[in-house]
């Protein structure tokens, strides 16, 4: 059974992670009617565990050095960073109540050392700007017209069969990659994009575990080293 919701949002954001919340908040602050759809029970679950639970927000490195850390594709970010770089990000978080401090290597953390403070501040800011966040809701498909996307199709809640269509003028996929399935990063954005004709480059892991022979690794368990700069 299929059901349609004729609310006609201006924008539907798929994914309530850091990128999705930022996009939704900015759009809503510009009088855009926004709906954020998140399949997990809470927004920004992966953000809550970044920086060992402290949330490394950004770095004070210069733009050229910053882009070098992204390898040969770093230049792709130049235009975006020219408009909104680390200094503006820090100013933004200060404006929504997250005080920050700079640590070794130019790393910027919230003074509270709590990633949860960052998530809570982002969520409150998004809602204060007028965006709606729908949790525990999985997007199972995009509604594609002849020339543009017309909305999303979500799974029915409460164990009911069928799907529900929600219409919008635009859809933003902000689902992240597939690096941490337990946080919701299962690669949904790839197949959603592919379903409407995009070509997906094969996904490869950026971080992988190392397997060692013998008992040396076990003997080193619990040992940590500080990086000196």
Return the structure tokens found at 194.
């592919």
Q: What's the pLDDT at 212?
A: 86
Q: Are residues 216 and 127 in the same domain?
A: yes
Of the residues 113, 131, 152, the one at which a domain ends: 113
Q: Are residues 94 and 207 in the same domain?
A: no
Q: Are residues 95 and 121 in the same domain?
A: no
Asked if residues 178 and 186 have their Cβ atoms less than 8 Å apart, the reply is yes
Q: Are residues 60 and 125 in the same domain?
A: no
Q: Are residues 48 and 63 in the same domain?
A: no
Q: pLDDT category, 121, cuts 50, 70, 90?
A: very high
Q: Are residues 65 and 172 in the same domain?
A: no
Q: Are residues 108 and 126 in the same domain?
A: no
Count CB atoms within 10 A of the CB of residue 133: 19
Kind plus residue range of the DSSP H or E element containing 109: strand 107-110
Return the structure tokens found at 61.
């490195």
Query: 193-207 pLDDT, tens per residue?
Result: 999 999 999 988 877
Q: Are residues 170 and 221 in the same domain?
A: yes
Q: Are residues 106 and 187 in the same domain?
A: no
Q: Are residues 85 and 183 in the same domain?
A: no
- What's the order of all strands across the beta sheet hosting 58-59? 58-59, 107-110, 100-103
Sequence-distant contacts of 150-157: CB under 8 A, at least 24 apart: 151/9, 151/12, 152/12, 152/14, 152/37, 153/2, 154/37, 156/3
**Mean predicted confidence (pLDDT) in 77-103:** 95
Which range of residues forms the domain containing residue 224?
1-53+114-229
Distance (Å, whole) CA 203 – CA 79: 25
Of the residues 113, 134, 161, the one at which a domain ends: 113
- Comparing CA positions, the residue from 137, 139, 144 lying closest to residue 195 is 144
98 in the Ramachandran plot: left (φ > 0), alpha (ψ -120 to 50) or beta? Answer: beta
Q: Residue 204: give its domain's CATH number.
A: 3.50.50.60
Q: What's the pLDDT at 180?
A: 87
- Comparing CA positions, the residue from 168, 161, 133, 166 lying closest to residue 40 is 133
Q: pLDDT category, 160, cuts 50, 70, 90?
A: low
Cα 38 to its chain centre, rounded Å, is: 11
Q: Are residues 75 and 157 in the same domain?
A: no
Q: pLDDT category, 2, cuts 50, 70, 90?
A: low
Q: Are residues 146 and 212 in the same domain?
A: yes
Asked if residues 191 and 174 have their Cβ atoms less than 8 Å apart, the reply is no
- Report the domain count for the chain: 2
Cα 189 to its chain centre, rounded Å, is: 11
Q: pLDDT category, 158, cuts 50, 70, 90?
A: low
Place of tokens 């882009």: 67
**Mean predicted confidence (pLDDT) in 6-18:** 90
């Amino acid at each position: 059974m299929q059901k349609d919701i004729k609310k006609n949002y201006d924008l539907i954001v798929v994914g309530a992670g850091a990128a999705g919340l930022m996009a939704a908040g900015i759009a809503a602050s510009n009088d855009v009617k926004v709906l954020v759809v998140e399949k997990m029970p809470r927004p920004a679950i992966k953000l809550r565990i970044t920086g060992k639970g402290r949330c490394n927000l950004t770095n004070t490195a210069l733009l050229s050095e910053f882009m070098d850390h992204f390898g040969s594709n770093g230049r792709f970010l130049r235009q975006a960073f020219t408009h909104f770089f680390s200094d503006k990000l820090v100013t933004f978080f200060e404006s929504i109540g997250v005080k920050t401090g700079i640590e070794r290597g130019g790393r910027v953390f919230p003074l509270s050392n709590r990633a949860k403070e960052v998530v809570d501040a982002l969520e409150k800011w998004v809602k204060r700007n007028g965006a709606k966040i729908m949790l525990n809701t999985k997007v199972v498909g995009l509604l594609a017209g002849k020339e543009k996307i017309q909305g999303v199709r979500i799974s029915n809640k409460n164990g009911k069969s069928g799907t529900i269509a929600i219409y919008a003028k635009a859809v933003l996929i902000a689902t992240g990659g597939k690096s941490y399935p337990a946080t919701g990063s299962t690669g949904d954005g790839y197949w959603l994009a592919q379903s409407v004709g995009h070509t997906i480059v094969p996904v490869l892991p950026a971080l992988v575990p190392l397997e060692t022979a013998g008992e040396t690794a076990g003997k080193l368990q619990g040992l940590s080293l500080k990086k000196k700069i």
